Amino acid sequence: MSNKDWRSKMMNTFIEEVLESGHKIFILQTPYQSVVISIPKLNWSTEISLSLCEESKYDHILSSLIFQMYEGNCTQLTQQILPLIHTNNTLKQFTYN
């Protein structure tokens, strides 16, 4: 895959959302069947394989947030993040009202 093709693929699989908590989240699907999740306000990011089961994805996000955050509700934030990742290896647009 050329650099141009790779960049085109990345542009099609990028999501920017605002969570209920008010944090802006960015999710980027890589060409390697994983996603990079980033919340700049928390100075936090993680990479998760899309081949993991939902429980493993949840545990990975939660443990990473607990390591980064000393205060706040990591469980609630994890529950807001997880629906943004679709198990069919494609990202799903999701809006919180």
DSSP character at residue 91: B
Residue 97 located in a structural domain: no
* 13 occurs within a structural domain: yes
Q: Is residue 93 included in any domain, yes or no?
A: no
Decide if 95 is inside a domain. no
Within-domain flag for 23: yes
Which DSSP string corresponds to 32-81?
TSEEEEEEGGGTEEEEEETTS-HHHHHHHHHHHHHHH-SSS-HHHHHHHH
Does the pTM surpass 0.85? The reply is no
| Beta bridge pairs of residue 27 | 15, 37
Q: Which residue has the higher pLDDT, 70 or 52?
A: 52
- For the segment 12-39, the average pLDDT, to the nearest whole number, is 78
Average pLDDT over residues 60-84: 87
Model confidence at 53, pLDDT cuts 50, 70, 90, reads very high
- pLDDT tens for each residue of 26-42: 888 888 888 999 988 88
Residue 92 lies in a domain: no
Q: How many domains does the chain have?
A: 1
| Range of the structural domain that residue 12 is part of | 3-84
